[in-house]
C-alpha cells in the first residue's frame, strides 16, 4: 500500500466513493454513510471518478465498487486508477452466487468483498469505519518509515556540505598570496553560521575527547541549554549512564580504525533533567601531517518521537507475529483435540442405538455428557482466541427468526428439564418472517445466553423473547431477550459479568462450572455485528440478558423449505464417499450414513479418494482436511480437474479445524460446504439434503 495520498500528521479528508450504475442502491448507500458524516460521492462511470479525484489534494479514498452494476469491470477499474497515478482502497459488492475467487480479488488489490444486497445497508457504516481505521493506521506507519528515510538523506546532505567546507580549507595553498589564516577562519565561521541558521538540526564541533568547541542555537530548542552553557564541557556528562560506556567505546573504536564518519543514537539529559533520544551523524576531520583528530563535526536532532513510533511499530509487528503463531497453534490444537473427541462422541451415539440395560445406558449418558462439556470448553477457548485476534468476520445470510428460536429451545429442552426448569419462547407479530444477519454468530450468542440461564436456574423457568424495537431515529432493531428466575447477581458484581475468565462463582466448591468466557464472547460477537448487549439482575430473583441488532430485511426473496425429514419421502439411495484418515471417525461416519440406507465407500487419504473417484460415480463426497500422503485441499482440486465439463460432485468438508478463515480455505480449494468435528448428525443430514437436492 502506498502512503502518498494520506501523509501522516496531516488532517486530510476521508472520501467514500460509490461506483455503480444502480442509482437506487447508490442513493441508499449514500444516505446510510452520510448519517455518519462521511464525505460521500457517487459515480456511474469510472472515468468521471478519475477526473474528480485528480482535482483534489491528498486524502483517503475508499471506493465501494458494485461489481454487478458497473460500466467497467472492477479489475479494469483498478487498472485505470493505477494508470492515472491515483491510489485508492477498494471494497467490492458481489452477488453471492458469483463464483469469482475472493482470494484472487484480494491479490489484485481489493480490501474486502461484500454481498450485493440492499439489506446490508444498516451495517455498512460500521464496516466502512473499521476499514478506514485499518487503512489510516497502515498508511501512517508507512509515512513514518518514509519520514525516517528522508531524515537520513537530509543529514547526509548536511554532513556533505560541512565536509566540503573542510575540504576547501584543507586544499588552500599556504604559498599563495591570497592565503590568509584569519580570513579562512572567518570564512569557516560564516559557513557554519549559514548552516546552523538554515537548519533545525543541532550542529556542533568537538575535540578528539568530545569537548564542545562550538554548538548551534538549535540546542536551546532541543536540550534547553544556551550555547554558552555547553562550550568547553564534555558531551559525556549529558549522556545517560546506561548508554555512556557503549558510546565511549564506540568513539575510541572509530578513531582507532581511522573512520571518517559514523552514526549513533543515545539518550541525553536536557536542562530540566528529562532524557530524550538524540540521533547524530558525525564526520571526523584528521590533520594531514600527524594523522591525529583535528575536529569532529556532528549534526544531531531529537529522535524521541521516532524512537517511540519505532517501538510501537516493532511492538505491533511482534504482536501480529505472536497472533499468527497463536492462531496456527490453536488451529492445530483444535484439529488434534476434535479428531479423537469426534470419534468418542460418534461411537457413543452409535452405541446408544444398540440394546443396553439401564446401568449401561446411564454410564453411556455420563460419557456423552462429559464429552459434550469438554467440547463446550474447547469451543469457548477457540472462540475467545479468535475474538482476541479480531478475526470474527461477519458472514451475512438470510435466516428465519422463528426457526432460529425454535431450534435453540429444542437444543436446550433436555438440559432445562434436568434442572427441573420449563423453557418457553415468544416471538412478537411485528418481527418479520425473514431478516438478514450472521446466522452462526446470532446462534452462538443466543446459545450462550440460554445456556447460562439454565445453568444458574433450578426449579424455575426460562423465557426467550424476540421483538422489534425502535431507536430515537425510528430505526428498527431486533431485541433478543432471555429471562430466568435463577440465582441472579449482586449489583456490585454486574460490571464484571462481561470480563473474560471472571465467574460469578469463584469459590473452591465450584458449584457452577465453566470457563468464564461465555458472556465476554457473546458481547464481543454482538459488537462485531453492530449491536449492543445488556444485563439486568437481582439476587434471588433472576436475570434478564438481552442483545439488540439492526434489522436488515430481505422481503423479496423466498427461502426454501429446510425440513430435513424430506429424505424419508424421496426414496433415493445416495452414493457417498467418506474420505477420513482416522479409523474410528471413518467407521462412525460410514456406519451412520449406511443406517440412512445409502451406499458408502471409504478412503484413508486424498490419493485413495482420487483412485476411487470417477465423474458421476458419487452423489456426494465427505472430505477431511488434514490427511497423510495427500490432504483434502489437494484432493478436491484434483477431483475438480478430473470432472472437467462433467457435473460437479458436491464435496462437504468435515474438519477439526474450526478457527476463523478455515471455512474460506476449504471453499477456495473447491469444496461446497463445511462442518466442524464433532459433527452433529442433524446438521450433516441437512447439508447432504441441501447439496443433493440442488
pLDDT at 612 over 60: yes
Topology, domain 397-550: Heat Shock Protein 90 (3.30.565)
Number of H helices and number of E strands within the chain?
20, 22
536 CB neighbour count, 10 Å cutoff: 14
Cα Rg of the chain, angstroms:
35
Query: For residues 227 and 536, what is the distance between their CA atoms, to the nearest angstrom?
Result: 66
CB-CB contact of 65 with 91 (8 Å): yes
Write out the residue limits of the CATH 3.30.450.20 domain(s) in the chain.
172-302
Write out the residue limits of the CATH 3.40.50.2300 domain(s) in the chain.
14-144, 568-692
- Selected residue with higher pLDDT from 528 and 690: 690
pLDDT at 268 over 90: yes
Q: So what's the pLDDT on residue 144?
A: 57
pLDDT at 7 over 70: no
Question: SS in 3 state form for 79-123?
Answer: HHHHHCCCCCEEEEEECCCCCCCHHHHHHCCEEEEEECCHHHHHC
Mean pLDDT of 110-124: 75
User: Length of the chain, please?
Assistant: 694
Question: SS in 3 state form for 510-531?
Answer: CCCCCCCCHHHHHHHHHHHCCC
pLDDT at 316 over 80: no
88-92, 105-109, 299-303, range with the lowest pLDDT: 105-109
* Strand (E) or helix (H) holding 548: strand 542-550
Find, among 37, 21, 40, 38, the residue nearest to 93 by Cα: 21
Write out the residue limits of the CATH 3.30.565.10 domain(s) in the chain.
397-550
CB-CB contact of 452 with 415 (8 Å): no
Mean pLDDT of 113-127: 74
Q: Per-residue pLDDT tens for 446-494?
A: 888 888 888 888 889 999 999 998 887 777 888 999 999 988 887 767 6
Looking at domain 172-302, its CATH architecture is 2-Layer Sandwich (3.30)
Mean pLDDT of 248-261: 90
Q: So what's the pLDDT on residue 250?
A: 92
pLDDT at 225 over 90: yes
CB-CB contact of 514 with 444 (8 Å): no
Query: For residues 17 and 51, what is the distance between their CA atoms, to the nearest angstrom?
Result: 13
Kindly provide the b/e burial profile for residues 657-672, where b requires at least 16 CB atoms within 10 angstroms of the residue's own CB.
bbbbebbebbbebbbb
Output the nine-digit C-alpha cell for 203: 550542529
pLDDT at 267 over 50: yes
CATH number of 568-692: 3.40.50.2300
201-210, 338-347, 565-574, 644-653, range with the lowest pLDDT: 565-574
Q: So what's the pLDDT on residue 567?
A: 40
Query: For residues 203 and 405, what is the distance between their CA atoms, to the nearest angstrom?
Result: 74
Please give the mean pLDDT across all residues of the chain.
78
- Selected residue with higher pLDDT from 499 and 113: 113
pLDDT at 89 over 60: yes
Query: For residues 672 and 256, what is the distance between their CA atoms, to the nearest angstrom?
Result: 70
323-332, 354-363, 464-473, 599-608, range with the lowest pLDDT: 323-332
Which of 43-57, 89-103, 189-203, 333-347 has maximum average pLDDT?
A: 43-57
Q: Per-residue pLDDT tens for 361-420?
A: 887 877 777 777 677 667 666 666 655 545 555 667 778 888 888 888 887 887 888 888
For 14-144, CATH number out of 3.40.50.300, 1.25.50.20, 3.40.50.2300, 3.50.50.60 equals 3.40.50.2300
Mean pLDDT of 270-284: 91
pLDDT at 60 over 50: yes
Give the pTM.
Answer: 0.39
pLDDT at 273 over 90: yes
For 588-653, give the DSSP string.
HHHHHHHHTT-EEEEESSHHHHHHH--TTS-SEEEE-SS-SSS-HHHHHHHHHHHHTTSPPPPEEE
pLDDT at 111 over 90: no
Mean pLDDT of 504-532: 62
Alpha helix (H) residue ranges in 400-487: 401-418, 439-455
Q: So what's the pLDDT on residue 505?
A: 47
Q: So what's the pLDDT on residue 577?
A: 94
Contacts 24+ apart (CB under 8 A), 305-313: 306/144, 306/147, 306/148, 306/151, 306/277, 306/279, 307/265, 307/277, 309/144, 313/141, 313/144
pLDDT grade for 511, boundaries at 50, 70 and 90: very low
pLDDT at 12 over 70: no
Q: So what's the pLDDT on residue 334?
A: 66
Amino acid at each position: 500500500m502506498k502512503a502518498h495520498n494520506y501523509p501522516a500528521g496531516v488532517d486530510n479528508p476521508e472520501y467514500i466513493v460509490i461506483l455503480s450504475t444502480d442509482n437506487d442502491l447508490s442513493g441508499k448507500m449514500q444516505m446510510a454513510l452520510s448519517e455518519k458524516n462521511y464525505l460521500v460521492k457517487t459515480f456511474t462511470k469510472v472515468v468521471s471518478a478519475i477526473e474528480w479525484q485528480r482535482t483534489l489534494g491528498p486524502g483517503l479514498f475508499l471506493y465501494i465498487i458494485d461489481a454487478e452494476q458497473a460500466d467497467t469491470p472492477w479489475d479494469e477499474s483498478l487498472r485505470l486508477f493505477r494508470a492515472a497515478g491515483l491510489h485508492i482502497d477498494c471494497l467490492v459488492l458481489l452477488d453471492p452466487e458469483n463464483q469469482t475467487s475472493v482470494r484472487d480479488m484480494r491479490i489484485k488489490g481489493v480490501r474486502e468483498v461484500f454481498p450485493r444486497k440492499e439489506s446490508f445497508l444498516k451495517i455498512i457504516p460500521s464496516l466502512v469505519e473499521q476499514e478506514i481505521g485499518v487503512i489510516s493506521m497502515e498508511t501512517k506507519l508507512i509515512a513514518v518509515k518514509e519520514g525516517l528515510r528522508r531524515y537520513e538523506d537530509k543529514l547526509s546532505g548536511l554532513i556533505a556540505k560541512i565536509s566540503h567546507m573542510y575540504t576547501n580549507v584543507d586544499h588552500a595553498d599556504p604559498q599563495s598570496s591570497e592565503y590568509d589564516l584569519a580570513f579562512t577562519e572567518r570564512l569557516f565561521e560564516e559557513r557554519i553560521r549559514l548552516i546552523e541558521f538554515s537548519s533545525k538540526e543541532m550542529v556542533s564541533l568537538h575535540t578528539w575527547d568530545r569537548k564542545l568547541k562550538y554548538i548551534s542555537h538549535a540546542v536551546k530548542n532541543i536540550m534547553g541549554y544556551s550555547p554558552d552553557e555547553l562550550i568547553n564541557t564534555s558531551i559525556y556528562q549529558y549522556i545517560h549512564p546506561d548508554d555512556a560506556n557503549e558510546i565511549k567505546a564506540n568513539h575510541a573504536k572509530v578513531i582507532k580504525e581511522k573512520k571518517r564518519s559514523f552514526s549513533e543514537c543515545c539518550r541525553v539529559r536536557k536542562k530540566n533533567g528529562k532524557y530524550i533520544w538524540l540521533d547524530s551523524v558525525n564526520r571526523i576531520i584528521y590533520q594531514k601531517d600527524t594523522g591525529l583528530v583535528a575536529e569532529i563535526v556532528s549534526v544531531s536532532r531529537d529522535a524521541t518521537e521516532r524512537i517511540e513510533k519505532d517501538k510501537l511499530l516493532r511492538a505491533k509487528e511482534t504482536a501480529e507475529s505472536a497472533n499468527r503463531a497463536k492462531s496456527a497453534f490453536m488451529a492445530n490444537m483444535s484439529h488434534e483435540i476434535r479428531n479423537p473427541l469426534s470419534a468418542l462422541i460418534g461411537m457413543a451415539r452409535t452405541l446408544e442405538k444398540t440394546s443396553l440395560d439401564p446401568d449401561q445406558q446411564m454410564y453411556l449418558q455420563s460419557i456423552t455428557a462429559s464429552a459434550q462439556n469438554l467440547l463446550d470448553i474447547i469451543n469457548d477457548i477457540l472462540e475467545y482466541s479468535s475474538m482476541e485476534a479480531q478475526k470474527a468476520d461477519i458472514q451475512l445470510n438470510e435466516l428465519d427468526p422463528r426457526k432460529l428460536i425454535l431450534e435453540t429451545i429444542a437444543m436446550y429442552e433436555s438440559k432445562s428439564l434436568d434442572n427441573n426448569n420449563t423453557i418457553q419462547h415468544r416471538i412478537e407479530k411485528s418481527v418479520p418472517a425473514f431478516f438478514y444477519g450472521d446466522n452462526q454468530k446470532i446462534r452462538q450468542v443466543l446459545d450462550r445466553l440460554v445456556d447460562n440461564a439454565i445453568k444458574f436456574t433450578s426449579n424455575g423457568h426460562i423465557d426467550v423473547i424476540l421483538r422489534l424495537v425502535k431507536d430515537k431515529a425510528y430505526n428498527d432493531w431486533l431485541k433478543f431477550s432471555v429471562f430466568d428466575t435463577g440465582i441472579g447477581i449482586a449489583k456490585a458484581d454486574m460490571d464484571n459479568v462481561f470480563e473474560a475468565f471472571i465467574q460469578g462463582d469463584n469459590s473452591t466448591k465450584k458449584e457452577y462450572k465453566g470457563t468464564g468466557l461465555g458472556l465476554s464472547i457473546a458481547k464481543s460477537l454482538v459488537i462485531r455485528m453492530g449491536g449492543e448487549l445488556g444485563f439486568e439482575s437481582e439476587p434471588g430473583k433472576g436475570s434478564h440478558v438481552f442483545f439488540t441488532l439492526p434489522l436488515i430485511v430481505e422481503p423479496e426473496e423466498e427461502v426454501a423449505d429446510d425440513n430435513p425429514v424430506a429424505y424419508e419421502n424421496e426414496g433415493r439411495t445416495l452414493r457417498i464417499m467418506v474420505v477420513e484418515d482416522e479409523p474410528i471417525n471413518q467407521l462412525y461416519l460410514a456406519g451412520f450414513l449406511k443406517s440412512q440406507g445409502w451406499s458408502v465407500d471409504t478412503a484413508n487419504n486424498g490419493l485413495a479418494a482420487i483412485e476411487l473417484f470417477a465423474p458421476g460415480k458419487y452423489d456426494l463426497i465427505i472430505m477431511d482436511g488434514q490427511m497423510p500422503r495427500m490432504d483434502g485441499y489437494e484432493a478436491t482440486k484434483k477431483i475438480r480437474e478430473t470432472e472437467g465439463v462433467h457435473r460437479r460432485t458436491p464435496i462437504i468438508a468435515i474438519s477439526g479445524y474450526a478457527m476463523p478463515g478455515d471455512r474460506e480455505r476449504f471453499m477456495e480449494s473447491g469444496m461446497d460446504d463445511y462442518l466442524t468435528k464433532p459433527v452433529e448428525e442433524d446438521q450433516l443430514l441437512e447439508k447432504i439434503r441441501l447439496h443433493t437436492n440442488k
